[in-house]
Structure 1
Amino acid sequence: MLPRTPLGIAAASAGICFIGYCIYFDHKRRSHPNFKKLLREKRKKAKQSRPSGGQMPFPDLNDHDAMQKFFLEEVKQGEELLAAGDIEMGVEHLTNAVAICGKPQDLLQVLQQTLPPQVFQLLIQKLPLVSQRLSSAAPGPGAILTEDDVE
């Protein structure tokens, strides 16, 4: 067995060498003449790859699994954005979730109890617009059955 002191010194020196290498590599990367240009291009490509207007397209309304996944993702994103202080986008995602929910009244009751009143009012104001977008995203007439369609 090796004594602890030489082993500790070896571990500490390896850690210091690693941190030194990281600092050197970061300095070299940032001082590259095209660093800022490449970074801007990368961010621009990422921004262009997002859906237009920041709005997530609705899934296939006939695919129950896709709808459920979309619903859960929208609720999760809405909660995270609200917790981070981005009220506008958080409400947008929660409104998408309410629009495709099977029982929107139940979800609205839960949201009314958990959200601050001004945030809930914003959600209620945006709901008709998102519902209209959802109906325009429907693949065609008769794609969504209502109670009147069932005998």
Structure 2
Amino acid sequence: MRRSVIIGSLLATAAVGYAIYFDYKRRNDPHFRKTLKRRYKKVHEAKKQEEKLATKKFDITVEEALQVVASTPVPSSAEEKELFFMQQVARGEQLFQQQPDNIKESAACFYSALKVYPQPVELFAIYERTVPEPIMNLLRAMQAKESIPSVE
């Protein structure tokens, strides 16, 4: 019992001593402060790069999903549209349940169904309540991307 108290006290003293030493170095050593600032900047820049990369990757995913939707033939008659809608929604749900990581194809199916639905605003509201968040984010981005006219 006494030995563990002594060892614990020594470890606590060492930790406090290191904290005091680190604080002293941080306050008084200009080279150490510069090193800390460089590390902070490096971490901050790496974080920004990761965010840019994630945004770029998401934009590419949106473009690819829109290309899949554009390549999907849209039926013309009302009965065919209804059947197409049901198939696309079922396929989108099935794809997400089988492969949760593959949200692009699932979102493309849901978006194809949205395009043939007679009241897309109501369907989008239903999607917001029922569709998983990653797919919903992709659907929102697809809708925003498609509704903005491109300048060519």
The structure whose residues are more often helix, as a share, is: 2
Q: What TM bracket, shorter-length normalisation? A: 0.3 to 0.5
Normalising by structure 2, what TM-score?
Answer: 0.45
Structure number with greater Rg is 2
